[in-house]
Each structure stands twice: as C-alpha cells, then as structure tokens.
Structure 1
Amino acid sequence: MVYFIRHGQTDYSERNTKIYQGFGVNLAKLSESGIAQVKEAAKDERLKGADIILSSPYTRAVQTASILSKELDIDIAIETDLHEWLENKNYIHENDEVTENSYLEYEKTHGKYPLGKEKLWEDAASIKKRVLKVLNKYCDYERVIVACHGVMIQATTGKEFPEYAEILEFDLEKNSLMNSPFEASETDLKNCILILRDITGKQDVNELAIRILNIIGAKGGDYSVNTIRAFAEAYLKESRKNIVSE
C-alpha cells in the first residue's frame, strides 16, 4: 500500500527575493503551521511501520519527509520524478502569470489537452505515468509513504485535491503499469498514429496504435517517438511473418 501525504503549509514570505526567485520558489521551507501539520499527521497509525519514505526533491516535500522520518524512524529516499505538476513539460520555468493561466486551463480541462491540441503544460496522464514508474521500483515493499504535492496526488489517485499534510491511500497493485499498461497520453497516441500512417501508408490505424502503446506500457512505458517507431516496426514485421507462415 502507498500512503501519499501532501506537504505541510509552505512559507512563501520571501517569494521573488534572494534565492526564491523563479524556480527557486521551490526552495521555500514549511511554515510553523506546516511543521505542526506534518507532526500531527505522523501520529496516524497507517504510517507506523512503513518500509520507506519517498520524497519529491522540492524543499517543502523533503522537509515533510524529514519530519516524518524523525517521528517514525523510517529512512528517506529522494525520487526526482515525484515533483509537482509542470507548467512547461520541457522543464522550462515560466513566470507567475503564465503558470497561473496554465494551471487554470489544466483545472478547466480536468488535466486533459483539448481534443486535437497539445499544450506546454503537463497533462494528468503524464503525471500519473511518471509517478507510477517511480512507485513500481518499490512494488516489493509492503508499505510506502510518499511526501509530495497536491496536483501530483490528485492526478495519480483520481481523488479530490488534498489538504496540507492530508494522507491518501493508493493501492499500487491495482494501479501498476503492469496491470494497467495503457498509461500513454493523448500526445503519445497522436505520435503513434502519425508513425503508423507513415510506415503503413494507411489512415485508419487508431486501434493498432492503442495496441502498440499497450505493449510499450507493459514493458515499462517509454513512449518516446524513437521507442514508438521501433515497437511499431517490430510489431508490423512480426505480423507480416505470421501472415506468411499461415
């Protein structure tokens, strides 16, 4: 079982000053209230005896994890792909106005790109995919605590946006990439369709694209364009061999 816990309330009083400008805002520490929230959450019986605490690399999550570690006597591991939602999926930090507008659009569309359009912001399917890749590395652990972020938790669990230091349970076995392989985003599907049209010269390849993305998902979920093309070519080659042998 995975126990997601959102970080405690953060102290942004020095935002846009000193080292807290731009992406540096993610270095902000917890407020006194935030520290108290996490200490209270550490009393939850579900967290006691967990095997490990995973943490996002952002300070507010790491500090949350460190408090839990001290209170529960559990080791911490930092996992960089447990970061919060990205306003720019190319890892380019945008200004506050762009970030706010992007998040408003994310909320309005429930984390999905408008049909036929691709945005710079990270969609919910991509968030869940990267989080599950991390969690699958710890699938042999009985209980895992994950100190992380609100949008990330919401996208992964499909539940309501959590309060500060709120704990949400997540059954990894039921949600793993191996059991639910098709975790590709709409962009991945679009890329696969374009690649298949290029290879086959046919337009109606949607079902085949989904089949190939499922295969990729079952083998780890690397949906890069080069990987999709390699799997598509191998799949079509094998299909042609089977037809000839029949």
Structure 2
Amino acid sequence: MQRAYLHGLGIAAPGLEDWGAARAVLSGETDYTSEPLTPFRTKLLPRNEARRAGAAVHLAFRVAEQACAERDASTFAAVFSSSAGDIDIADQLCMAVNAPERAISPTRFHNSVHNAPAGYWSIATGAREPATSLSAGPGGFMVALCEAWGLLAECGTPVLLVCYDMDGSGMLAEARRDIGATFAMAWLLDTHADGAIAVLDRPQPTSAGPTPVSIPALEHLRRLNASARSLPLLAALAARQAAAPVIASEQGHWRVPLTPL
C-alpha cells in the first residue's frame, strides 16, 4: 500500500488542549505557553467503567475521541502505543508488593496491564476489529505508525492510531526521566480520499537525522517524549504545507511524506 489518508486527529499536551489550539501554535499564529492540561473524563464509558479507568486510559481516550469525532468507531481497527503505560499505577504496585501486607488493588492491577486503554476503547465503542497494544521505547510513534500502516493494508478498514506517554511521580518516574511531560496524539487513517485532511505516502527508511520542531519548547518535548516524536508531522499539517519530515526511531529513522488536502 503506497498511500494512506488522514481523516481525523487529536492531540493533548501542556498548552495544547486539542488540535485547534495546537494548530494555532504550530503554525505560528499564537505563541506557545506550557499550561497544565484541564481535567478530562470520558463520557463514552459507562459510569462504573469510567470510575475504574486509570489516568492513562483517560489520556488515550482524550485524543482518540478527538480523532473519531462524530464517527462510528465500532468499525475501526486500532493501534495503541505507549513506552511506559500508566507509570503512576505501576509505581504504586511496585510499592505495594514490597510492603508487609502486599495488598494489591484489583482495579489498579487491571489498569497496569498495557492493553487496558485498548480494552476500554473496545468496551466504549463496541469495536470488534483487531486492536494492537505495543511498546517500543522512545521509537514508539514510528513503530506504531508502521503497525497501523500494515493493519490498514491488511484489513482495509479504518485504523485508529493512538500514542500516549504521561509523566508521573515516584521511583519509576525518577527512572524514566525520558518522559518529561505528558503528550498524546491520535490519527484516524483510511484507504479512501473522500473527506481526508491529508495524504501520507509510504514511510521510507533513511540515514538522515530527525527533523526538529521550530518552537524550542516543543522541540524539547519532541526529544523527551516518545509520542511527541510525531510533532514534525503535526507541524506540517498545521502549516498546510507538503513536507517529508524524518521521524526518529531506535529501529532506524523514517522519512514520512505528507501533503495536506
């Protein structure tokens, strides 16, 4: 498959509440200010499931819902990617198993499983198409994009790509200083051009260095957060200019041609 079409997108990061805010910043219309994300709770899940869902689930839903706005997500395949998942819950479980009573919360435990956001998404939307949950360290975005590309070529059904990495506290957060801030993004990809926002040509491996972001604070975020490595592509979309940025990956860098429509 040589081309894929982008039909929806979402973003969430400090100072970038949604695509409207991000587009204005990335295109240079407004200055970037790193403001904390406002609280978010999905309304797609039944009340009990929404209450039990962890912060990583709600972060993934935050961008997935933007990308799938007013669409029937029950027919979409999905790829969810995160380098660390819900790092706070993982830290709490590590502390609990080292306490004398070793009491583990079942709710925290099931939120620690790496495919929890994908599972909750299937519950919320009724989706029965394939869903992949992966972790590829700092190269997660590019690996997830390649996985989504293959899934789109194989199934022919729209594919929701969700990448999220959240900052945290505790000992694990100290060990994962490469996640310096929360960042999440989502793309809805399809094989059909009608109504598309942009077209992507097939990614190609390259020996060139990664494409930076012109805004220093966001370039710092791109270097820190695995999911934020998508920022050069998002910047091209915001500028509405054809571009072929190089996306960093520990499995080898990739050039991704993109043309806004």
On whether the aligned pair clears a TM of 0.5, the verdict is no
More helix per residue: 1
TM-score range, shorter chain: 0.3 to 0.5
More strand per residue: 2
Task: Work out which of the two has the higher radius of gyration on C-alpha atoms and give 1 or 2.
Answer: 1
Q: Which has the higher contact order (CA 8 A, sep 6+)?
A: 2
Superposition TM-score, scaled by structure 2 size = 0.31
